[in-house]
Chains A and B, each alone.
Chain A
Amino acid sequence: MTSTLLDAASVRERRRRPAPSGGPDRVFRIVLRLAGVAVLVLMSLVGAFLLNKAISALQVAGWSFLTTEKWEPDAGEFGIAAVLTGTLLIAGVAITIAVPLATGMALYVSEYAPRRIRRFLVGLIDLMAAVPSVVYGLWGFKFLQGHVIGLARWISTYFGWIPIFKVDGSDPRDPLATETVYTSSTFIAGMVVALMVAPVICSIMRESFSQAPIGEREGAYALGATRWGMVRSVILPFGRGGMIGGTMLGLGRALGETIAVYLIISPVFVIQPHVLQNGANSVSALIALRYGESTAMALSALMAAGVALFVLTLIVNFAAGSIVARSRSGAESDS
């Protein structure tokens, strides 16, 4: 050892970069790189094509694309003001309902549930996250639609003074009033999407809750905390990153959901802020509804709407990814 340390200069001379091994290894590296390039090209192609088509539509619509409510591409009058607001409202209702349910479920699984059924519950939640969206849509369309009218009417009757719960054309004093004003609403679509994204949110939250360090948990108990005291002072602060990240990933899924929304809503092309009232819309439902239109302009306009939705989900997903990653790296546990 000492001799090699002494004549370091000669060592430096003799040190050489290991040549990349040839033969099969070289083929392997080339194949890997080709696969990477292929996926990159494919994904860029999708993005570039959509963007290219979208830009040709945006050139026609200009800035009014963001403020127009109508969707008449062949007349040159189209915009995403109505559909984008509808998408955000549906996703908002979904997240408002899903987050408390998912938080409760995640806390139950990680803290309250008996150890025996814990593994089973984790598997069940993961399975529910894999249930196809058309099944949720089916249930919302055939079952919930008919059974939620009572709740919607009750909310609008007693909380109608809050603008968002107002329903035009309803008269609670008239027993024979039609109930159709309460069907096909943002609220019902939001409830279905909520059930769809709740398992996704829940499984991410549960994972981050279960990573709370055991030392802090026992420390809280040793200081005399009740179970809720421990949850509030240890589990929730440690799991905050997972809670926010999971919520945003769920939001991303809720924004892009098509079939369940398409089955339930009756599309309108005005900004409809009354969530309980018949008539709603979303970007993805708009695409599913109008893709058959044959003119190139109509298709470009749909692409532009799709790109707008994609940009929205992209921002939400990246924010969620960075928040979840930061919470996992232990950045919050050393305070």
Chain B
Amino acid sequence: MMGAPVHEERRNTATLRSEDVLAALGAGVAAICLTVLIFHWIAPFSGLLGFIVVAFGMFLALYAALLWLDGNGPAVRDRLMSAVVHGLAALLLIALIFVVTFTVGSGLKALVHLNFFTQDLTHAGPLAPLTEGGALHAVVGTLEQIGMALAVTVPLGLLCALFLSETRGGFTRFVRTIVEAMTALPSIVAGLFIYATVVLLLHAPKSGFAASLAIGVMMLPIMVRAADVVLRLVPGPLKEASLALGASRWQTVRHVVLPTARPGLATAIILATARGIGETSPVLLTAGYATALNADPFHDPQASLPLATFTLIKSPQDGDVARGYGTAAVLLALVLLLFIIARLIGGRGPLDLSARQRRARDRASARDVARFAQRRPAAYPSAPLSSAVQPGAPVREEEQ
């Protein structure tokens, strides 16, 4: 072993070798051919999904066999698992994107007619062409219902999240446990609760208001929990510094905790809204369904986007099915919009201010400096005036 020096060949350290590409290509072609053979002669079969699954399985087996010819155990396993991971990821991604594009693509038939956004379905029956009737009633219903649900859940949810994050003790822990338990409440059970209490016990009719109550009951624990998580991420030293400077709890929350957590809170609210906007089951039980535009949420049934989708899609008529796809596409667009807004707000860190926010902060601190300068001589007669003004001087110059 220790004999003459061996001329060492430089090792190829590239992660992608031509043999691997060829092996993968060969295994792929062979797998497709074999699967065609199996499907047509050996075990007759139809359907694209099964073809893909069987072909992928074949590919893995053939690829493993090919790699085994020139590799050792760990290398073969590594390449094989890499193929498995890529395959699974591609399968899931394609399936998910297909679900969305299928809906939007089928909805385009209805969406291209502008009347889809300006009319309701009062005069357009199932047999009416797509140039008549639209989903205005559902859009209005969804916006009103989610708006009313948010009007209650946002203040209540944020205050409760503040309560959970700002206080300690047995009662706080108890409330947190209950809220966490209620996030597991299936949305249909929330709908059933509102149906049994508001509609049956109080004899209120099925209406947009009842639907917004059901959405609110479902959304409140989700929002409290998400906001609580965000608020607890506010660094403790920041709060302690504020308290140590003599600020009260309220001032600390108002000027330190909330501004720091604002992007996260906005994201929590928007994602809970996206969840609430798309839930069909509570609305199904409580809103009723109307084909006419009903802007009054307190009387008479009111449609909403998910409910309209659900109702229209079950219709045997092609026109209504196309409208159902259209409402689903509008719903998707709404969720996408909310999601993008959440990303834009949440993408910015708590101390990463925009130019406008920075100017506002500078103005505020300049005001503070002016206020200090005014008050200090009276409160602390012995303090030299110059040192009080000094820190703010640069800010003042910026202002002018």
Contacts and interface: CB of A to CB of B under 8 A. Distances in A.
B183 A138 contact: no
Contacts of B298: none
Interface in B200-259: 200, 217, 220-221, 224, 248-251, 253
B185 A46 contact: yes
A23 B92 CA distance: 57
B336 interface: yes
A29 B47 contact: no
B339 A50 contact: no
Contacts of B313: 138, 141-142, 263
Contact of B184 (A21, A31, A313): A313
Nearest to A155: B50
A109 to B, nearest CB: 7
Interface stretch (A4-12, A271-279, A302-310): A302-310
A121 B285 CA distance: 36
A154 B50 contact: yes
A39 B309 CA distance: 32
Contacts of B87: 104
Contacts of A139: 99, 102-103
Interface string A39-64: 11011101101100100000000000
Contact of A321 (B89, B180, B185): B180
A291 B95 contact: no
Interface in A202-241: 202, 226-229, 231
Interface string B141-161: 000000000000000110110
Contact of A32 (B86, B102, B159, B193): B159
A131 B85 contact: no
Nearest to A36: B163
Nearest to A128: B96
B184 A105 contact: no
A232 B294 CA distance: 58
A158 B99 CA distance: 29
Contacts of B27: none
Interface stretch (B324-332, B377-385, B386-394): B324-332
Contact of B188 (A49, A113, A306): A306
A314 B179 CA distance: 11
A110 B280 CA distance: 33
A226 B71 CA distance: 13
Q: Is the interface of B mostly helix, strand, loop or mixed?
A: helix
Given A131-B332, A284-B281, A33 B163 contact: yes
Contacts of A66: none
A100 B88 contact: yes
Interface residues of B, number: 97
Interface in B328-369: 328, 331-332, 335-336, 338-339, 343
B48 A147 contact: yes
B88 A43 contact: no
A107 interface: yes
B186 A306 contact: yes
Contacts of A229: 74, 77-78
Contacts of B75: 226
B400 interface: no
Question: Which of the four size classes fits the interface of chain A?
Answer: 35 or more
Q: Is the interface of A mostly helix, strand, loop or mixed?
A: helix
Interface stretch (A77-85, A163-171, A251-259): A251-259
Nearest to B106: A142
A288 B284 contact: yes
A158 B78 contact: no
A331 interface: no
A134 B280 contact: yes
B31 interface: no
A245 B157 CA distance: 25
A223 to B, nearest CB: 12
Contacts of B47: 147-151, 154
A40 B178 contact: yes
B96 A154 contact: no
A174 interface: no
A76 interface: no
B310 interface: yes
Contacts of A137: 310
Contacts of B184: 252, 256, 310, 313-314, 316-318
A255 B186 contact: yes
Contacts of A158: 43
Contacts of B285: 287-288, 291
Contact of A38 (B50, B160, B271, B274): B160
Given A36-B160, A36-B164, A228-B78, A135 B190 contact: no
A64 B391 CA distance: 78
A108 B86 contact: yes
Contact of A42 (B78, B93, B217): B217
Given A154-B43, A256-B187, 4 more contacts: A21-B249, A103-B88, A134-B331, A291-B192
29 contacts: A25-B248, A25-B249, A27-B250, A32-B163, A36-B167, A39-B157, A46-B185, A46-B190, A47-B182, A49-B197, A50-B189, A103-B88, A104-B91, A105-B88, A112-B89, A127-B336, A134-B280, A135-B309, A138-B324, A142-B321, A147-B47, A151-B49, A158-B43, A228-B82, A256-B188, A256-B189, A299-B196, A306-B186, A318-B181
Interface of B: 43, 45-50, 53, 74-75, 77-78, 81-82, 84-89, 91-93, 95-96, 99-100, 102-103, 106, 156-157, 159-160, 162-164, 166-167, 171-172, 174-175, 178-190, 192-193, 195-197, 200, 217, 220-221, 224, 248-251, 253, 271, 274-275, 277-281, 284-285, 306, 309-310, 313-314, 321, 324-325, 328, 331-332, 335-336, 338-339, 343
